[in-house]
Structure 1
Amino acid sequence: MDCLGVSSAKSLQALSALLSTQEEEEEDEDCKNVTCVRMDPGHIGPPPPKNKEVPNAYTKKNSKDIWSEEEVAEGSHYDNLADPRPQPEYEIILKQSVGTEDLFLGLSRKDPSSMCCEAMLVKIKLPDTKATDVILDVKEKFLDLRTPKYKLGLHLPNPIHSQEGKAQFFSDKEELEVTLLMKRPMDFINM
């Protein structure tokens, strides 16, 4: 039954001795006495520069600013905790353009998920407010609404095209509807 010629523990030890070289044993003995540097994947490439500061997220520029613009959330300069005006009721509805070819035939790749939505409708209830009293400012990720009675600072769930939206005030319902076109990185696939 001895097909490979390995029949006992002595044979395995002899095979192990043949495979290991004397140079490796000498290096191991040298490393026990002296600090030994072994090559590993960290030694590939040029050595890292010495005495040079590594830039990180907390490195400040030469200005006297406390925070950089990237660290401050968009719209935070509108927050005023001393302002007593209440926040009005609002609702965010995602919209998509769907035709009969989408609904009945399924020719486009649109589905009911939010990834296929093109616009965002923000309905804001403003009782006892006139259209002339509304001040609206829309940024890429923030909607700021001010009236004499209400204040709304709304962080939007998706980035939008701030110059391509429209707003309409319905005085009979006392409601402002703001339609905003969403900015998606994969619009060319989903639309």
Structure 2
Amino acid sequence: MDFTASFGQLQALSNLFSLRDQEEDDLEEQPDRRTFGLNPGQIGPPKGANRTDSEKPTDTKQIWAEDDVPEGSEFDDIWDPRQQPEYEILFKQRVGTEDVFLGMNRKDGSTACCEDMVIKIKLPDCKPADVTLDIKEHFLALRSPIYKLGLHLPHPVDSKNGKAQFITDTHTLEVTLTMKRKFDFINFA
């Protein structure tokens, strides 16, 4: 076996061993200290660091603010035996003749020029009356006796205005939502 190492590699190896010796010396000097790893007291910000006023919970009995909990986490249930349905996310543009034939607007085929998000969810053996749909700004939750879907959306959407249509021939639920992205005022000016 041919083993060759450069001077830099040998120096790095030497430094690793010298750090280990220093830790052992520190351990011998402090017999009360039993662990050097991460413990619950070391998790989170240092004790001296305080939250800013915007990060503090308004109620003093709360242990975290609403913004600390990710949207849709209340729907995550790993013990739920219902299966996740097949779905696909499509993006849709609102185009007119001036866009298609004359190219007057700055629209192209990219998703940056799309205004709507269409989510197609296949729900075989499901009736429209059995489906419960809840839409938040970043999360879509669908529940039925057979299926459950908790979907984190790729872009924020307008949760108040949307359209859902159940197509009975294909047993597909089509949900159309308008996106609220940060720079849409530039893309659609």
Fold similarity call, TM over 0.5: yes
**Cα distance change, pair 64–131 in 1 and its aligned pair in 2 (3 A):** same
Equivalent of 1:173 in 166, 170, 173:
170
Aligned-CA RMSD value? 2.3
2:95 maps to which residue? Answer: 98
- Alpha-carbon shift at residue 105 of structure 1 (Å): 1.6
**Cα distance change, pair 52–82 in 1 and its aligned pair in 2 (3 A):** closer
2:122 maps to which residue? Answer: 125
Residue 109 (structure 1) aligned with residue 106 (structure 2) = yes
- Alpha-carbon shift at residue 81 of structure 1 (Å): 1.6
Equivalent of 2:81 in 64, 84, 96:
84
Which residue identity is paired with 1:133? D
Equivalent of 1:71 in 59, 68, 80:
68
Contact 2:71 2:138 in 1 (8 A): yes
2:23 maps to which residue? Answer: none
Unpaired segments ≥5 residues, structure 1? 1-50
Which protein shows a greater Rg? 1
Contact 2:55 2:65 in 1 (8 A): no
1:135 maps to which residue? Answer: 132
**Cα distance change, pair 62–144 in 1 and its aligned pair in 2 (3 A):** closer
Residues 67-108 of structure 1, C-alpha deviations (whole Å, 9 max, x = no match): 321111101011112111111000000000112211222100
- Alpha-carbon shift at residue 56 of structure 1 (Å): 8.8
- Alpha-carbon shift at residue 58 of structure 1 (Å): 8.0
Take 1:174 and 1:52, find their aligned partners in 2: how far apart are those partners?
A: 54
- Alpha-carbon shift at residue 166 of structure 1 (Å): 0.5
Instruction: Tell me the percent identity.
Output: 58
**Cα distance change, pair 71–53 in 1 and its aligned pair in 2 (3 A):** closer
**Cα distance change, pair 126–59 in 1 and its aligned pair in 2 (3 A):** same
Take 1:149 and 1:160, find their aligned partners in 2: how far apart are those partners?
A: 27
Take 1:126 and 1:158, find their aligned partners in 2: how far apart are those partners?
A: 24
Would you say how many aligned residue pairs link Structure 1 and Structure 2? 141
Take 1:52 and 1:118, find their aligned partners in 2: how far apart are those partners?
A: 42
SS at structure 1 position matched to 2:159: coil
Q: TM-score, normalised by structure 2?
A: 0.68
Unpaired segments ≥5 residues, structure 2? 1-47
SS at structure 2 position matched to 1:70: helix
